[in-house]
Amino acid sequence: MSAGFSKVAIIGLGLQGGSIGLALREALPDLATTGYDRDAATRARAAERGLVGHVADSAGEAVAGADLVIFCVPLGAMAAAAEECAASLSPDALISDVGSSKVSVAEALGSVLPNHAIIPAHPVAGTENSGPDAGFASLFRGRWCIITPPEGADEALVARLSALWEAMGAKVELMDAAHHDRVLAVTSHLPHLIAYTIVGTASDLEEVTQSEVIKYSAGGFRDFTRIAASDPTMWRDVFLSNKGAVLEMLQRFTEDLTALQRAIRVGDGEQLFDHFTRTRAIRRSIIEQGQDVAQANFGRDAS
Amino acid sequence: MSAGFSKVAIIGLGLQGGSIGLALREALPDLATTGYDRDAATRARAAERGLVGHVADSAGEAVAGADLVIFCVPLGAMAAAAEECAASLSPDALISDVGSSKVSVAEALGSVLPNHAIIPAHPVAGTENSGPDAGFASLFRGRWCIITPPEGADEALVARLSALWEAMGAKVELMDAAHHDRVLAVTSHLPHLIAYTIVGTASDLEEVTQSEVIKYSAGGFRDFTRIAASDPTMWRDVFLSNKGAVLEMLQRFTEDLTALQRAIRVGDGEQLFDHFTRTRAIRRSIIEQGQDVAQANFGRDAS
């Protein structure tokens, strides 16, 4: 029994695709895994690391005979990747992905593969690294994987896909695609946009040199650069594909920032203190629910 | 030889004061260390942990006979703490601190202790934890300590204070106080303000529940909550005491954010990609210069 699938094809062998391959090989050794990446160097490295059982030379070869195909490419490349596979897909192959916004992915894959069952998924796990060397088998362990089945999706298929993610150590949650896009806009997309912005702001200063910014980054800036080191192609596509929700969350953020800015300008210490106290509770809950570790991380030496 | 001092008094025994005490006791066992905190529970805990050689019952008792007094209290409490010590200070005691903004500290301490040598300092190191249990001896190891001597400061005193910080493992940099305040506004103060803001924004959403925000925080939000868990009193005082520089950096940040917001709205993928690529280089430099570790940190399980 391999969680209801006999052969899983992974299209795109970067951080996500590579981690899925490694996690499946570790958790379900009997499950056949194939993979393909349009970049030849990535394919070579994927084969060296054994990210999947077999690295194919074409997308078509990778998906031939697969009963599950997981697209792990940037959102903007989903449709093209699906087209590359279309002719070789078995008609009963389940189509899924790991994209960070779900409404647009469902549309992109659905337009190319109108006759296939498509059940999008989004593992809420990642690192600031990308490429075929970034993946590791435990990436999804204890993390949430949000599956967004379209209306009328085959419940048996949803159950099989859920079981596969649980086999990789993930906790599965079913969610409406549009709601997913709003939740992730605030928990992931907005934080990345903010981090990318502030790192750019700091590097553009004239009177404060970039070497000073780097030297004294341990005061907090450092942790933003970590997020701002994430894959540029992936994130460009995230913001373009989840534009509506991101812009709305950004508007709310800007209003709140303006309020704190005013509190600083007028010297309203009480408002600042109240706000800063409130945000502490959220942190505690995240640690209690196992989504982060309590170990002090600003002082890396403490670890 | 104890780095040129025979007795160091630490006023305020939280993360910074406690770490200084532990670092000094480890690095310079012959150096006498005393400490005081106005909070009785903190004093008791400090004595249990042995943060300093002797925890005094009053500020005056702590500083009596000390040739160096380091104020490790929130910026807004510096003047009051100095007043508590004034009567018991030996006239040749060097006065220093660890405050995160330096122009205002120099003014606050100078107004209370006009006849003492005052050489402010700021170790650029910390964690999201606070209180007497948060300190550890290696907090300053490999981190920068910025010393901001006033004009005409005694170079011998500056050298002795620098040597003490180097004994704790810090790398010392001398800087003009006003320039320090601008550098830290962008590398530390603005990042904290942004993090506090976005955590507040997320917790105020109606259609996305707070439990969803917490559940899916591993997508990036998590790392902001870490910063936003820092001590509220300390940060209220930082923003009020470094108001000018913080508001200026905030203005630049807002302009940059608006530009990216527009790029998303009009679908300018090229501008987004170029910006996101540029910010990666900064991250690399920070790791190369030892101010952070390269180990993937989003995927905490990887560590």
Q: What is the pLDDT of residues A120-174, one digit of tens each?
A: 999 999 888 899 999 999 999 999 999 999 999 999 999 999 999 999 999 999 9
Give pLDDT, residue A232.
Answer: 93
A207: domain CATH number is 1.10.3660.10
Question: What letter does residue A188 receive in the DSSP assignment?
Answer: I
Residues in chain A: 303
Boundary of a domain, candidates A175, A190, A215: A175
B180-188: average pLDDT:
95
ipTM of the complex: 0.89
Please state which of the ranges A211-220, B83-92, B251-260 shows the lowest mean pLDDT: A211-220
What local confidence, expressed as pLDDT, does residue B296 receive?
Answer: 66
Q: Which of A280, A284, A293 to mutate to test the interface with B (most CBs of B within 10 A)?
A: A280
How would residue A298 be classed by pLDDT, with cut points 50, 70 and 90? Answer: low
**B298, part of any domain:** no
Contact A225 B192 (CB under 8 A): no
Q: Does A173 sit within 8 Å of B215, measured CB to CB?
A: yes
Q: Are B178 and B131 within 8 A, CB to CB? A: no
The amino acid at B59: A
Residues A16 and A70 in one domain: yes
Query: Reduced to 3 states, what is the DSSP secondary structure of residue B121?
Result: strand
The CA-to-CA distance between both ends of chain B, in Å, stands at 40
In this complex, the residue of A226, A249, A299 whose CB is nearest that of residue B126 is: A299
* Cα separation values, B63 from A273, B57, B66, B89, B91, Å: 30, 11, 5, 6, 11
Domain match, A40 and A90 both: yes
Q: Distance (Å, rounded) from C-alpha B13 to C-alpha B21? A: 8
**Residue B110 C-alpha, separation from nearest chain A C-alpha, in angstroms:** 22
- Inside any domain, residue B30: yes
Contact A202 B260 (CB under 8 A): no
Chain A residue with the nearest C-alpha to that of B129: A296
Q: For B49-94, write each residue's pLDDT tens digit.
A: 999 999 999 999 999 999 999 999 999 999 999 999 999 999 999 9
Is residue B213 located within the same domain as residue B160?
no
The residue whose two tokens read 């300190």 is B135
Kindly give, in sequence order, each residue whose CB lies less than 8 Å from that of residue A149, ignoring residues fewer than 6 positions away: A119, A158, A174
Chain B contact set for A168 (CB, 8 A): none
Tell whether A298 is covered by a domain.
Answer: no
In angstroms, rounded to a whole number, what is the distance separating the alpha carbons of residues B38 and B40?
6
User: In this structure, are B150 and B67 located in the same domain?
Assistant: yes
List the 6-35 stretch of A: residues with Cβ below 8 A of B.
none
CA A301 to each of CA A117, A295, B202, B228: distance values in angstroms, whole numbers, following the listed order: 49, 11, 30, 20
Enumerate the residues of chain B whose CB falls inside 8 A of the CB of residue A141: 301
- Cβ of residue A232 closer than 8 Å to a chain B Cβ: yes
- A295 in B contact zone (CB under 8 Å): no
Q: CB contact, 8 Å: A183 with chain B?
A: yes
In this prediction the pTM is 0.87
Looking at chain A from residue 201 to 230, which residues have their Cβ under 8 Å from any Cβ of chain B?
201-205, 207-208, 210, 212-230
A262 and A203 in a common domain: yes
* Residue of B266 and B281 predicted with greater confidence: B266
In whole angstroms, what separates CA A88 from the centre of its chain?
27
Structural domains counted in chain A: 2
Whether A2 is in a domain gets the answer no
pLDDT at residue B303, rounded to an integer = 35
Average pLDDT over residues B11-35: 98
Check CB contact under 8 Å for A298 and B128: yes
Residues B159 and B184 reside in one and the same domain: no
Does one domain contain both A208 and A139?
no
CA distance A89 to chain B (A): 31
Strand bridging mode A121-123 / A144-147: antiparallel
Q: Measured between beta carbons, which residues in chain A are less than 8 angstroms from residue B143? A: 218
Instruction: Determine the Cα–Cα distance for residues A185 and A163; give it in Å rounded to an integer.
Output: 26
Q: Which of B190, B246, B265, B280 to mutate to test the interface with A (most CBs of A within 10 A)?
A: B280
Query: What's the CA dihedral at B108, B114, B115, B118 to 10 degrees?
Result: 30
Residue B107 covered by a domain: yes
* Of the residues B175, B208, B231, the one at which a domain ends: B175
| Contact residues, chain A, for B295 at CB < 8 Å | none
Top pLDDT among B74 and A214 is at B74
B23 and B153 assigned to the same domain: yes
pLDDT at A14 over 60: yes
Q: How confident is residue A299, by pLDDT bands cut at 50, 70 and 90?
A: low
Domain range for A266 is 179-292
